[in-house]
């Protein structure tokens, strides 16, 4: 495998970078397909255990985490707007874009 990888680098006129090789492809596959259920990712990448994927190959992606939190906030906003009860723990925005404070409890 190492010779094959070296031949590919030479043929593509790429300089050798330590750490780039077969495992970098597996890491990329795991990161690019992190939306798949773990069992599907294991089957696609040939892993026998999910532990290797989660502990070695996948890394947190801040952009994906931010997007997930934004989508969650949007869904929660839609659910809150559909209810008839008031949640005084949540702030609301008026048409004039003023933030309303919850009334003080006595």
In this structure, are residues 45 and 30 in contact, taking their beta carbons and an 8 Å threshold? yes
Q: If you average pLDDT over every residue of the chain, what do you get? A: 78
Q: Which structure tokens are listed for 33?
A: 């397909």
Q: Is 97 left (phi over 0), alpha (psi -120 to 50) or beta?
A: left
Helix (H) or strand (E) holding 92: strand 92-93
Based on C-alpha coordinates, what's the Rg of the chain?
24
- Whether the pLDDT of residue 2 is over 80: the answer is no
What CA–CA distance (Å, rounded) separates 60 from 69? 14
Given the structure tokens 């043929």, which residue do they identify?
11
Per-residue pLDDT reduced to its tens digit, 41-89: 999 999 999 998 988 888 788 898 899 899 988 888 876 666 555 556 6
Higher pLDDT: 90 or 40? It is 40
- The domain spans of the chain are 2-57, 62-100
């Amino acid at each position: 495998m190492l010779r094959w990888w070296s031949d590919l680098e030479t043929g593509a006129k790429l300089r050798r970078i330590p750490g780039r090789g077969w495992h970098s492809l597996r890491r990329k596959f795991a990161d690019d397909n992190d939306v798949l259920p773990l069992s599907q990712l294991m089957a696609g990448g040939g892993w026998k255990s999910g532990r290797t994927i989660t502990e070695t190959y996948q890394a947190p992606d801040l952009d994906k985490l931010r997007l997930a939190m934004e989508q969650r906030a949007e869904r929660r906003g839609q659910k809150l707007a559909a209810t008839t009860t008031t949640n005084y723990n949540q702030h609301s925005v008026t048409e004039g874009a003023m933030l309303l404070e919850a009334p003080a409890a006595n």
